[in-house]
Structure 1
Amino acid sequence: MQRPSSSADTHAADFWLACSAIVVVAVLQFFLINDLSLGPRWLAPAAEIALLIPLAAAFRMRQKRVKRAVAAGRLLDQPWRIIRYLALALITVMMLMNFIALAELVRALLAGRTENGTTLLVDAVIIWMINIIVFALWFWGLDGGGPAIRHAQRKPTFEFLFPQALIKDAAPFSPGFVDYLFLSFTNATAFSPTDTMPLSQRAKLLMMAEAMISLLTIAFVAARAVNILA
């Protein structure tokens, strides 16, 4: 008899890594030096943590149900929609907050109201780092219907073609959060795909959006801040 398996168990470590990344984003947003947030500085991090808590609780509840199902010899592979909806809502909030911060920083530069080049550099780096994490979460959360479906099907190629999927006679490859974080970092740095290629139109649009934000942050904001320092 084949032992029952659960996608929730196999991608649990990835989920908690993603949660840690979300906490990092909240901390980075709180430490933006200039007034670039929508409302008080604590509003964006508080909203994100407020969404993260029920998301983590729902996932933990899902894990417990899966363990009971496996112990009883039953399969429980259907992911909860509430987990996916909460996760996508949280990623959307983070992306919007980071876009607002970038827009406010660019507007401050164009208006000439910001004179401290050091703080501009720090804020530009923070926005760039948040951009990498947010799009890594987008890639991880959307590719092939989400991590639960990917781990359940063990299909190597969904919307991104990772090099591991091209290795012959290798074990089935299911990308984890770190794989998508590396993809996001290389895309934000090189402004183009490196070792992992986008296959779907949605993946290509996401990579274009990340590269555009990264280019704006590095080429415009950081360069202007360096000019102020000179």
Structure 2
Amino acid sequence: MSEGTDDAESRLGRIERLLETGEREAAPAWRRATRGEPRWAVTAVILVAVALQLMLPHRLALQPFWLLPALELALLAGLTAANPRRVEPRTRWLRLLGLALICLVSLANGWSAARLVVGLVDGTEGTDAGPLLLTGGGIWLTNVIVFALWYWEWDRGGPMARACGHQQFADFLFVQMQSPEVAPPDWEPRFLDYLYLSFTNSTAFSPTDVMPLSRWAKMLMMLQSSVSLVTVVLVVARAVNILH
């Protein structure tokens, strides 16, 4: 009797394991544990942001103007040395290092944007249309990169948490999540997807094909649209006034 019971329990356990395996295989890639995404894209974009900061007029940067870009490059070098090929979950300090890097990029660009806006309002900035448009364009593009980094770092706990499949509920709803038949079975959002989200939000001043689901995502997109709108309106209006 006990042997029959043990056999039945063993068969039941095997069935349950098979069902669990089937469920894991049927789940989309963005909901299950996968390999970390390649690091090259986010590294290249951060280098572009640092270059844009160094190209801005030094009077708009925190002094000394080279300090924040140097710290950003040091943090980026540390992250790349720890995870040279892929953004993979290893230690908690890597995520803290990544957040510190994004905070520095945000601080540098936010300071430059604020100085530019104050200068435009006071009439101390924007005496020549060409340099003004280049400066405003650099700040605007860096702003796109900054918010792309925040979206990428916070969606479902960040890239390392997404690789582990820890959080099942997304903060951003991509088209491939709604219509999985239009994407490969191993599709999951990567940094370039968040960069596209940030760019379209900065140009359309509203969501396009990617919908924010959580409250923090909605508030962050609203903040980005506001910053982009103020920057574009003031810079373009001043440039048009100079040309006239």
Task: Give the TM-score range, shorter chain.
Answer: 0.7 to 0.9
Select the structure of larger CA radius of gyration: 2
Corresponding residue of 1:189: 203
- Secondary structure of the corresponding residue to residue 35 of structure 1: helix
Aligned partner letter, 2:123: G
Following superposition, the deviation at residue 225 of structure 1 comes to 2.2
Find 2:148's aligned residue among 119, 123, 136: 136
Following superposition, the deviation at residue 172 of structure 1 comes to 5.2
Q: Deviations over 1:163-217 (max 9, x none)?
A: 1011255625410111101000000000000000000011111111111111011
Following superposition, the deviation at residue 33 of structure 1 comes to 3.1
Paired-residue identity, %: 45
Q: State the distance in 2 between where 1:109 and 1:133 align.
A: 23
Find 2:61's aligned residue among 34, 37, 45: 37
Alignment of 1:63-82 (within 5 A): 78-82=89-93
Asked if 2 retains the 8 angstrom alpha-carbon contact of 1:143 and 1:158, the reply is yes
Alignment of 1:1-230 (within 5 A): 10-13=35-38, 15-33=39-57, 35-60=59-84, 78-114=89-125, 115-153=127-165, 158-168=170-180, 171=185, 173-230=187-244
- Number of aligned residue pairs: give it: 211
Relative distance call for 1:56 and 1:8 in structure 2 (3 A) is farther
Q: Flag structure 1 segments of 5+ consecutive residues without an equivalent.
A: 67-76
With the length of structure 2 as denominator, give the TM-score of the two structures.
Answer: 0.79
With the length of structure 1 as denominator, give the TM-score of the two structures.
Answer: 0.83
Q: Flag structure 2 segments of 5+ consecutive residues without an equivalent.
A: 1-20, 22-31
Q: Deviations over 1:139-180 (max 9, x none)?
A: 111100111221232978510000101125562541011110
- Secondary structure of the corresponding residue to residue 65 of structure 2: coil
Asked if 2 retains the 8 angstrom alpha-carbon contact of 1:124 and 1:218, the reply is yes
Q: State the distance in 1 between where 2:75 and 2:213 align.
A: 31
- Secondary structure of the corresponding residue to residue 10 of structure 1: coil
